[in-house]
Amino acid sequence: MDLLKEPINLRKKKHLAAIASLILVLLILIAIPLTVFGVLKSGELNKNPKAASTVSPLIFGTNLLLNDANDQFLTSAATRQQMKNIHVSIVRMPIRSAYSTGCTSTPATWEVQAAQDIHDLGMTPIVILKYTQTDPASAGKCVVQAMNKIFGSSVVYYEFGNERDMVTDKASYTNTWNSVIPQLKAVALNGKFVGPVTSWPNNDFITYFVANANPYPDAVSYHQYTCDSSTSASACLAKIPTYKTHLDSIKADIAATGKPVPPIMLTEWNYDPIPPNPDPRVTPAFEQQYTQAMFNELANDGFFAATQYLVTGSGVYQLIDSSGNLTAEGQMFKQMYETLIGNPSLSTSLASPANGSTVSGIVNITANATPTAGSTISKVEFYIDSNLKNTVTTSPYSFAWDSTTATNGSHTILAKAYDTTGTSVSSNLVNVSVSNTPSVNTYLWIEAENSTLRSPMVNGTDTAASSGKYIYSSVSNATNVPPTNTGSAGIIVNAPVAGTYIFWARVNYGSDTANSFYAQIDGGTVYKVGNENSGYSTWKWIDWYNGDSSTSNIIKVALTAGNHTLKIIGREANTKIDKFLLTNDTSYNPSGLGNAANAGTPAPNSYLWFEAENGILASPMVTGSDSQASGGIYVYTPTTTGSDTITINVPSNDTYTLWTRVNYGGEFQNSFNAQFDGGTVYKVGNENSGYSTWKWIDWYNGETNTTNLVKVNLKAGSHTLKITGREANTKIDKFLLTTDPSYKPSGLGS
């Protein structure tokens, strides 16, 4: 029986393994001459591989066992380092945890850690999505969202299920793919979805899937082993050319459907799916010869990616043993990478700006750096005209150079990389021409009262203030940075030219306990403006922070040409703030009232509306119908558990108020829990009453006043709002997330 043509996965047939082990007890007594390998050296072992430039580094992949948190990959730093040493490029990891409610159990903590370790090693992940989840779409979304947080916009491959051809017919698998994968694609930042992951080169199953899959797979994957426990070592080696036979056959069958042939991934390979332990065939010579022949085969056949089974934990074949040492197979893995791909040595190059280019304003300088094999980059230094300007210790290796600090004309840029071996190397030298508009100083005068004010930041009047008005907060909070209860002012400022700007503020301090506020531009550094140990009752221009009126702590910000958001946040009550100046003239000192305002428009408020039923519901949280609800649908839990997870994208760094449209039947069904990004859990509602009409609320712990409002500081980008059940039958219809503290939604909202 040719195992490559039978739809079985012997690794899952453990009773066969036991029988094979008994048979091979007798074989242990029989000497297996090493000369059995000699006849192969002129054939498969010495096959000439393709040029290194045409060989995909992704054929140098491996599988994790990952049964639990005790997996050697998780517990052994030496194992992870060895994987880097042998140049593993892609790692296949299973999701074994069972989905229950929300994303609390899937993926498991150790699965998230495994993904983080793969990321930190700089390797590409293949994540096996568990097909048999009770709700594969919701479970898959949980996994994809976890991977998004770890890998960001980097590619993540997702295999849908594993060897389902053994238990599921091709039509059922394909129909499930067509139902689930579109939902996962909508969530994934850069996910590539792979199927049907068959247990052998199953042409019929694969061809049907490719012909009927919608969406079309980003890649096709299957598994292949060359022999079983009854096959001799020499026969295992002799069957290696069948990998190409099956690959070519599958490509031809797919092409015959009229569909394009997707990339082919071999996501499990080795000589025997269930080798006996011990296996008399497995000698260092056999391991190395089999591994060498396989990589030559993979390189010539044109597989897009391949993952050897298994990195560690097999006990028979593995790349790394239980002590963290390379096995004979692992040693050959490394040797073949360096033969086919090359042996990396420390190198660095400047990716931008281009040599000979003309630059101005803020220039993004980016370097690529590759460490010596087995090490990591420790730092990259950037030099302008041989002068060290910046040091970066983590990827991406880049920094923003303010070219206005250099004279117009020719300048040189160089990067110098260091790795953990102590080696350093310099990049190519890049010549640029700096061309900044000379002698054009910019003075942006901004009236503070022209901001969008958020209570308790309010206006005050003073005839000595510019335009007779100023702003101030009536509340102090020097504990939180920045505080959420002191109010703010937001204003949009347009910088006509890029450069380094100094921030000036015209202020009036009554005492040394009313002489500071916070300033922030574009959600960046929060400066504690002022704060010297004195007060003064006259208006004064200041440009310092942290109480240092010397030139050490001057507020300087690098701005690109275009719009920027200036945010003022209260710190000490009754600190009077009249006017601002942003200027690129470093020698200028404003005085008096300054010039007339020529910049600044109120920062717009954000109003983000979203329906509760559009989140990921975890049982027993379900939907209900009501013609009075927005869209006619709301969510609720008939018990006290279940959850609703919603992904929200906020446009700017700011303080947001959460409003919820609810309907309470009584005081014992009038609350739920809300949590942003795994942070504070707010007990929303919970007042001592109920009501049978829909109502908008923004409070928690039963406080309907302004003390306990659901307010959160969020940075621009994606965030997760998780609603969990607390009291049964609390009806939740819609949410509003807004930066406008004075706005109160009504009716169905927008």
Angle of CA points 174, 180, 181, to nearest 5°? 85
Single-letter amino acid, residue 437: T
Contact 184, 191 (CB under 8 A): yes
Least confident interval from 164-178, 222-236, 665-679: 665-679
**Mean pLDDT on 733-739:** 93
347-434 CATH:
2.60.40.10
Give per-residue pLDDT as tens, 566-624: 999 999 999 999 999 999 998 899 999 999 999 999 988 889 999 999 999 899 999 99
- Band (pLDDT 50/70/90 cuts) for residue 29 is very low
Nearest-angstrom CA–CA distance, 430 and 434: 13
Q: What is the DSSP letter of 442?
A: -
Nearest-angstrom CA–CA distance, 668 and 730: 9
Q: Which residues contact 636 (CB under 8 A, 6 or more apart)?
A: 621, 622, 624, 728, 729, 730, 731, 732
User: What is the maximum alpha-carbon separation in the chain?
Assistant: 106
Provide, rounded to the nearest whole percent, the portion of the chain with pLDDT above 70: 90
Picking from 742, 732, 750, the residue whose alpha carbon sits closest to that of residue 695 is 732
Give per-residue pLDDT as tens, 407-466: 889 999 999 999 887 888 888 889 999 988 765 789 999 999 999 998 899 999 999 999
Q: Between β-strands 264-270 and 219-225, what pairing exists: parallel, antiparallel or unpaired?
A: parallel
Q: Which residues pair with 416 in a beta bridge?
A: 381, 426
- Band (pLDDT 50/70/90 cuts) for residue 550 is low
- Fold classification of 3-340 is TIM Barrel (3.20.20)
What's the pLDDT score for residue 7?
Answer: 33
Same fold: 443-602 with 607-738 = yes
Backbone Cα Rg of the chain? 32
pLDDT at 96 over 90: yes
**Mean pLDDT on 245-249:** 97
Single-letter amino acid, residue 413: I
Q: Give the phi and the psi of residue 559 in degrees, each rounded to 5.
A: -120, 140
Nearest-angstrom CA–CA distance, 230 and 24: 8
What Cα–Cα distance (Å) separates residue 698 from each residue in 345, 731, 738?
A: 58, 15, 11
The answer regarding whether domain 443-602 maps to CATH 3.20.20.450 reads no
Q: Which DSSP string corresponds to 89-101?
A: -EEEEE--PPP-S
Length of the chain: 750
What's the pLDDT score for residue 92?
Answer: 98
Nearest-angstrom CA–CA distance, 566 and 537: 26
pLDDT at 17 over 50: no
- SS3 label, residue 44: helix
Contact 580, 446 (CB under 8 A): yes
Q: Which DSSP string corresponds to 326-383?
A: B-HHHHHHHHHHHHHT-----EEEEEESPTT-EE-SEEEEEEEEEPPTT--EEEEEEE
pLDDT at 47 over 70: no
Q: Omega before 438 cis (within 30°)?
A: no
- Kindly give the residue spans of alpha helices, DSSP state H, lying in 194-327: 203-212, 233-238, 242-256, 284-301
Nearest-angstrom CA–CA distance, 238 and 272: 13
Q: Which residue has the higher pLDDT, 194 or 277?
A: 194
- Fold classification of 607-738 is Jelly Rolls (2.60.120)
**The dihedral of CA 328, 333, 334, 335: what is its sign?**
positive
What's the pLDDT score for residue 538?
Answer: 87
pLDDT at 666 over 80: no
Q: What is the mean pLDDT of the chain?
A: 86
Q: Which residue has the higher pLDDT, 548 or 102?
A: 102
Per-domain boundaries in the chain: 3-340, 347-434, 443-602, 607-738
